[in-house]
Amino acid sequence: MVNVGILGATGMVGQRFIQLLENHPKFEIKALTASQRSAGKKYQDAVTWHLDTPIPESVEDIVVVDTDPGLVKDVEIVFSALPASNAAVVEPKFAEAGMKVASNASAMRMEPDVPLVIPEVNPEHLDLIEIQQKRRGWDGFIVTNPNCSTIALVLTLKPIYDQYDVNRVYVSTMQAVSGAGYNGVPSMAILDNMVPFIGEEEEKMEEETLYLLGDFDGETVEPASFGLSTSCHRVPVVDGHTEAVFMEMDEDFELEDIKKSMQEFQAIPQKLDLFSAPKNPIIVREEDNRPQPRMDRMREKGMAVTVGRLRQDASFPRSLKYVLLGHNTIRGAAGASILNAELIAEIM
Amino acid sequence: MVNVGILGATGMVGQRFIQLLENHPKFEIKALTASQRSAGKKYQDAVTWHLDTPIPESVEDIVVVDTDPGLVKDVEIVFSALPASNAAVVEPKFAEAGMKVASNASAMRMEPDVPLVIPEVNPEHLDLIEIQQKRRGWDGFIVTNPNCSTIALVLTLKPIYDQYDVNRVYVSTMQAVSGAGYNGVPSMAILDNMVPFIGEEEEKMEEETLYLLGDFDGETVEPASFGLSTSCHRVPVVDGHTEAVFMEMDEDFELEDIKKSMQEFQAIPQKLDLFSAPKNPIIVREEDNRPQPRMDRMREKGMAVTVGRLRQDASFPRSLKYVLLGHNTIRGAAGASILNAELIAEIM
Amino acid sequence: MVNVGILGATGMVGQRFIQLLENHPKFEIKALTASQRSAGKKYQDAVTWHLDTPIPESVEDIVVVDTDPGLVKDVEIVFSALPASNAAVVEPKFAEAGMKVASNASAMRMEPDVPLVIPEVNPEHLDLIEIQQKRRGWDGFIVTNPNCSTIALVLTLKPIYDQYDVNRVYVSTMQAVSGAGYNGVPSMAILDNMVPFIGEEEEKMEEETLYLLGDFDGETVEPASFGLSTSCHRVPVVDGHTEAVFMEMDEDFELEDIKKSMQEFQAIPQKLDLFSAPKNPIIVREEDNRPQPRMDRMREKGMAVTVGRLRQDASFPRSLKYVLLGHNTIRGAAGASILNAELIAEIM
Amino acid sequence: MVNVGILGATGMVGQRFIQLLENHPKFEIKALTASQRSAGKKYQDAVTWHLDTPIPESVEDIVVVDTDPGLVKDVEIVFSALPASNAAVVEPKFAEAGMKVASNASAMRMEPDVPLVIPEVNPEHLDLIEIQQKRRGWDGFIVTNPNCSTIALVLTLKPIYDQYDVNRVYVSTMQAVSGAGYNGVPSMAILDNMVPFIGEEEEKMEEETLYLLGDFDGETVEPASFGLSTSCHRVPVVDGHTEAVFMEMDEDFELEDIKKSMQEFQAIPQKLDLFSAPKNPIIVREEDNRPQPRMDRMREKGMAVTVGRLRQDASFPRSLKYVLLGHNTIRGAAGASILNAELIAEIM
């Protein structure tokens, strides 16, 4: 068993880390950190637990410590659910102290020597770790996963992008409130309502997507160059981000071939049979009215993305439209970091 | 005062007609029709009233009749809130009987001699009435308004399309449940959920939009020819359709000019100061997080469309993005038919 | 016109005060206060406006001042939407400075010389003002209205309590999220969920109700003595508190008599025809499935309480059950304070 | 393995039966019935599946038959999810044909020779089976479980009623929309709204509760005689009925004793370790703000009732208040019938 810790363990994503790591076959939680206010308390007393399964007994009595590498002992991997501003300062300290940091925070994602990875999409970017350690003189390192909306999108783009010349992509999201954290969206803002804006979300989606699908020469990433434009919206859904995708290709294609590529898409996590890897990263549904958040978000324990409404426009002959759904705090956050760590534990 | 009737007066849109016509300065409700089950009852006994203002006293005791022109006496204009299949059969009978039919039903919209009109957008299409009457031998006629999602979209496209070469438009909608009628969307389908499909909605939006912005030579309409693709979704909102619009132009433009065109947009209904005409058909908001359905749907008594988040993509230099919101059962249905009738009453 | 000010003008209840006072025939807003962070800004820049009607033009440019009587000039009445802790300190200062304070805050409600008043229920308690002024040496005074849930309940109890010996009352509430302020209830707490607890709400309802229906000898209030027990719950509704009421009487009664008492209930505000007074404070509906928040909360501009499901239990012969609904931020907050001020302006 | 069938297998409760019986250690689904419209189709083609777990593979290809005992072969137990009117006619035919009918329908519940059973509460009522078979000349029999709201209530009343003299009970429910079936509650009726009425629900709760807690002399049930009054309301929650309970006892008691009785409550299903039996039928929570539907409904696989806010009123010294939550389509419907069948399979 590998000893792991969770940085920022009391927030929404921190709770998901704990939930997903319960009964994990390789990772055992040994340390939990939070803000000073919580330090010194047992986890069950420090947290306001918001998930619909109980707090795992194995972590109830762990005493929460301040987010300081000197206080996190005998731990090989730390999962970071820290807020971005905090992560920028603290994650490097953990890497310097020799720990492997699998981070869900956005702070370090676009650093040129920090891998931004979806295991099914760009595992080769992990080669940046060696460069990172050399350049920064760290024994440990930082690996990041993308934003929740980006992950679900890129997983569905990958099998298409690998086989076709993509010209332009437009994406309109309908995102769940859990993405903003427990207190992020007041009920007054969202009951019988929706909000057509999520701070910095469009910028992250556009930059990260092209970066993840970019070319990597072993040292630097050259972002993909197709046009990409997003519009991000918050809707009254608890968990599960839905995205409407419009694409145009630079070549002819058959819709059935696209569908088959998605359904058959598998990559390293599936080949290595990693514990958190979905058997099929993309589930394609034929019904008109799917995917739906409440119905589909938990497929493959929340680690698969469900795609539906694959279709073409009569007026755009090389166009492709579909709707996708991914669980934003599992596949899009805690589960993403854990899958990164599982891949690293297996291949490094 | 002009005597008017409402066909299909007990449904959601029928109720909106009644609500909006209360205290109307020119139209006075004299007849209400519904299915045979309701015929013979007083309106207040026939209807299950679903609006948040009370049933107007003036219609409470009107005896509902079957939807048959022989039973609708001394009425000049009838507003049709009939279901499409029924409208196809019944509306022509009313026109034949000499009545002016202002219809919200989709049945006759694409008939080449039936005007499909938004008064601010294509009032000249009303010239088809003469052709319609001649060809069909009717004393009355049928005029239609577009689908709810189409109206809000086209109102915002009009000032842009008039001044710029539009290349392509992508639209992703987030539509309110009232659009499906009172029993249309079960709560089990939409609580903590959304549905990425609305039957025939995308087809209507795409066809009607190009038709409304088309060229009219006095006899036939040549649809506009830019690319248009839509994806329609239902979200847990009572009233108010939100649409995320992505455009590409064939020429350079300044964002401020577009904004100004929208803000200053006015047309015949404003010039004639029609009772139901909004002072400004398009309200542009500067805040990041607007428009929002619960906040903005009732602006200008539900007859204005609110636009926000006007912006361009760095990666698409001639691109334009914005979010719009329109009240689907007022501007997008009953109010649309009434404004059509007001224009006709004024100019014919 | 009487010049008025609003203390705590940027919060939810503060905004309702502004909305309700637009076009008021007797009160004209001359001053707005808020926390230091907002002081010095124009109201439209200081507020994040959350209501579905626009900010009234008449207040847009009023410069917000700190909540200090020295900064509120030429104002006769101030409406207080301050948080309780703040109100306890600040309201007395305004009264001392000679202003009439009509407060929605809970801080001073149970002070023995401060009237806690619903104009239809216990206007005679206003006689405490003289005692208050004498005892405290103030030129001004403080008058309070009850908690939102209390007001709706007591309005319906009043005509019953006046005519029958009430033995015990049980009340279970289903309260709207707006009652907790804009940021009070996170969406994560209430989507597909409800919360069976509202801090201090049950205590307030029980104490205030008995006090409002108590005997007043001109100097002190002797609370009513029937048994009263409440259970308070938060549900996913924007505005409008619903309450299920179970009563037992100490004497026989006819259900029809109770209904008639409610329907015919009128009091001083109706007799004086006060501007904000509902024509009928209680609206009784016969339908099985009413009252409903979205349908009924705005009756009589949000100032009436709607009652439905009046019925008796077979197994409790002297029992009475009904469901009531009141708008929590209008009749239950800002509108309550304004009605108090209208009564005072008329009779004092 | 015992072969079982499900009557009315395509509705909401029918789907729950199928979900809960997947991987059941003793019951194996061999037959599925539905209306004639579905007969002859494979289950996966006949059903519109609404649960958030996939259709179990084992039933996908079962051919649905009409609800006729002649078409249901080699089955020992049938679970009935039929509508009441249909159940009254059809269930006796299955019993006559020799099958054991475990019914969730209300039709036969109050028949004097049909057991209405909650295994933890009144298992001895199963002795009515022998009387039923003798009287009606059936080889099979019918056993029923109560209404969803009743089950959750009575489970919490049982340990109290066994130890204390209960004088009166008032219950106000806040019920989930799934209780009305998939199409039962339109979204227009419940978004930003609630409905204070559920047809026949109050009557069922009051009659069934007293009956379940009644005295059984081996032949007939003498209902309990305390006063019981209910008020039933629908709220915007998908699954999980919440109930606010007010009680008065005829004797003094300690709150801690009541709590302990609830926490320690166990009965025959726990002693026999039945597969669907919760380890603890009642979970008592100490937090102010629990139980909550989304957080607590799935405890013990949806078979436990969660209780919170146990407290007394100052003004009613022998009073007791609490809030309970139970999963309405698991513990309150399909799971209830299955637990009944498990008990019967074990003891008969």
Residue A12: list chain C partners with CB under 8 A.
188
Range B226-248 average pLDDT: 98
Residue D348 pLDDT more than 90? Answer: no
Of B12, B192, B237, the CB nearest to D238: B192
ipTM: 0.96
Cα distance between residue A302 and residue A290, in whole Å: 16
Check CB contact of C192 with chain B, cutoff 8 Å: yes
pLDDT in tens, C33-85: 999 999 999 999 999 999 999 999 999 999 999 999 999 999 999 999 999 99
Residue A315 pLDDT more than 90? Answer: no
Residue D52: list chain A partners with CB under 8 A.
294-298
Residue D191: list chain B partners with CB under 8 A.
177, 187, 190, 236-238
Tell me if residue A204 falls in helix, strand or coil. helix
Query: DSSP label at B25?
Result: S
Task: Please indicate whether residue A232 is annotated as part of the active site.
Answer: no
Residue B315 pLDDT more than 80? Answer: no
Cα distance between residue C3 and residue C31, in whole Å: 8
Question: Comparing C-alpha atoms, which of B292, B7, D204 is closest to residue C48?
Answer: B292
Check CB contact of A273 with chain C, cutoff 8 Å: no
Supply the mean pLDDT for chain C: 97
Range A29-41 average pLDDT: 96
Residue D317 pLDDT more than 90? Answer: no
- Cα(first)–Cα(last) distance of chain A, in Å? 16
Of the pLDDT bands very low, low, confident and very high (cuts 50, 70, 90), residue C348 is confident
Residue B236 pLDDT more than 90? Answer: yes
pLDDT in tens, A287-297: 999 999 999 99
Tell me if residue C67 falls in helix, strand or coil. coil
Cα distance between residue D346 and residue B242, in whole Å: 57
Of the pLDDT bands very low, low, confident and very high (cuts 50, 70, 90), residue B317 is confident
Helical packing angle, A84-96 and A128-136, nearest 10°: 80
Of C182, C185, C191, the CB nearest to A236: C191
Question: Under 8 Å CB-to-CB from C256, ≥6 apart: which residues?
Answer: none
pLDDT at position B10, please? 96
Chain C from 145 to 184: CB within 8 A of any A CB: 177-178, 182-184
Long-range contacts of D109-116 (CB under 8 A, 24+ apart): D109/D144, D109/D146, D109/D208, D110/D207, D110/D208, D110/D211, D112/D220, D112/D221, D114/D142, D114/D143, D114/D144, D115/D143, D115/D144, D116/D144, D116/D145, D116/D146, D116/D208, D116/D211, D116/D212
Sheet holding D65-66, edge to edge: D65-66, D27-34, D2-7, D77-80, D100-103, D141-144
Supply the mean pLDDT for chain B: 97
pLDDT in tens, B56-113: 999 999 999 999 999 999 999 999 999 999 999 999 999 999 999 999 999 999 999 9
Q: Phi and psi (nearest 5°) for D257? A: -70, -40
Cα distance between residue A285 and residue A292, in whole Å: 11
Question: Under 8 Å CB-to-CB from A260, ≥6 apart: which residues?
Answer: none
Of the pLDDT bands very low, low, confident and very high (cuts 50, 70, 90), residue A208 is very high
Residue B299 pLDDT more than 80? Answer: yes
The string of DSSP letters for A8-58 reads: TTTSHHHHHHHHHHTT-SSEEEEEEEE-TTTTTSBHHHH----SSSPPPHH
Residue D99 pLDDT more than 90? Answer: yes
Residue D142 pLDDT more than 80? Answer: yes
Residue B281 pLDDT more than 80? Answer: yes
Of the pLDDT bands very low, low, confident and very high (cuts 50, 70, 90), residue D315 is confident
Check CB contact of D52 with chain A, cutoff 8 Å: yes
Tell me which of C125, C148, C232, C327 is the catalytic residue: C148
CB contact under 8 A, A294 and D238: yes
Of the pLDDT bands very low, low, confident and very high (cuts 50, 70, 90), residue B348 is confident
Range C275-292 average pLDDT: 97
Q: What angle do CA D157, D333, D331 make, to 5 degrees?
A: 50
Range C193-202 average pLDDT: 98
pLDDT in tens, A270-283: 999 999 999 999 99
Of C192, C196, C313, the CB nearest to D242: C196
Residue C290: list chain D partners with CB under 8 A.
196
The structure's pTM equals 0.97
pLDDT at position C165, please? 97
Name the minimum distance, in Å, from the CA of B243 to any CA of chain A: 9
Check CB contact of B286 with chain C, cutoff 8 Å: no
pLDDT in tens, C23-39: 999 999 999 999 999 99
Amino acid at D48: T
Share above pLDDT 70 across residues of chain C, in percent, rounded to a whole number: 100
Check CB contact of D298 with chain A, cutoff 8 Å: yes
Of D186, D192, D236, the CB nearest to B186: D186
Residue D197 pLDDT more than 90? Answer: yes
- Tell me how long chain A is: 348
pLDDT at position D314, please? 79
Task: Please indicate whether residue D241 is annotated as part of the active site.
Answer: yes
Check CB contact of C195 with chain D, cutoff 8 Å: yes
Residue A299: list chain D partners with CB under 8 A.
54
Share above pLDDT 70 across residues of chain A, in percent, rounded to a whole number: 100
Q: Locate D183 and state its tokens.
A: 């199409």
pLDDT in tens, C150-197: 999 999 999 999 999 999 999 999 999 999 999 999 999 999 999 999
Question: Comparing C-alpha atoms, which of D117, D175, D169, D217 is closest to residue D318?
Answer: D169
Q: How far is CA D58 from CA D1, D18, D23, D29, D30, in A?
A: 15, 10, 9, 8, 10
Domains and CATH numbers, chain B: 2-146+334-347 (3.40.50.720), 148-327 (3.30.360.10)
CB contact under 8 A, A52 and D238: no
pLDDT in tens, A76-127: 999 999 999 999 999 999 999 999 999 999 999 999 999 999 999 999 999 9
Residue A190: list chain C partners with CB under 8 A.
187, 191
Cα distance between residue A315 and residue C117, in whole Å: 67
Q: How far is CA D12 from CA A192, D49, D82, D183, D239, in A?
A: 26, 8, 10, 10, 12
Interface test with B, best of D52, D187, D329 (most B CBs within 10 A): D187
Cα distance between residue A271 and residue D237, in whole Å: 41
CB contact under 8 A, C191 and A50: no
Interface test with A, best of B206, B209, B229 (most A CBs within 10 A): B229
pLDDT at position B283, please? 98
Residue A230 pLDDT more than 90? Answer: yes
